[in-house]
Amino acid sequence: MKLRCAGFVHSNENASLWSPCARAPLRGDRFCALHRDAVDGAVLTIFMNGFSHGETHPDAQEIKSRRIARNQKAKNARLEASPQERAATARIRSRREIADK
Ligand SMILES: [Zn+2]
């Protein structure tokens, strides 16, 4: 009997469903190389961070707050710009879009 990996993959027919992994397990392991790496990474993450369901990394809120503040600052700068500055910014964006094509 051919052994198969104990992991699961997204179904080809429906991405929200799971199917057994068809790969062969690593020698002496229950998982193929892909799933062994995924399991090791997930277990290491849990050991290092102690996350429970719905909990986020302690730095996540601070990083999110900084990103929101940075985006708000940029938005305020755009709103406070003079009409000439806004026109200049629009010209620069337009040139970049043309250059990117
Ligand atoms: Zn697998």
Q: What per-residue confidence (pLDDT) applies to 14?
A: 86
Question: How many Å lie between the centroid of ligand 1 and the Cα of residue 15?
Answer: 16
Question: How many Å lie between the centroid of ligand 1 and the Cα of residue 46?
Answer: 21
Question: How many Å lie between the centroid of ligand 1 and the Cα of residue 31?
Answer: 5
Residue 18, phi then psi, degrees to nearest 5: -120, 145
Q: What per-residue confidence (pLDDT) applies to 25?
A: 97
On the 0-12 / 13-18 / 19+ scale of CB atoms within 10 A, 66 is exposed
| DSSP label at residue 84 | H
Is the pTM here over 0.85, yes or no? no
Question: How many Å lie between the centroid of ligand 1 and the Cα of residue 43?
Answer: 16
d(CA 10, CA 2): 21
Q: Are 32 and 25 in contact (CB under 8 A)?
A: yes
Question: How many Å lie between the centroid of ligand 1 and the Cα of residue 39?
Answer: 10
Q: What per-residue confidence (pLDDT) applies to 15?
A: 84
pLDDT tens, the chain, 101 aa long: 789 999 999 988 888 999 999 999 999 999 999 999 999 999 888 888 776 666 666 677 777 788 889 989 988 887 888 888 878 878 887 887 777 76
Q: What per-residue confidence (pLDDT) applies to 57?
A: 66
Question: How many Å lie between the centroid of ligand 1 and the Cα of residue 47?
Answer: 22
Q: What per-residue confidence (pLDDT) applies to 65?
A: 84
Q: How far is CA 31 from CA 16, 25, 44, in A?
A: 22, 5, 16
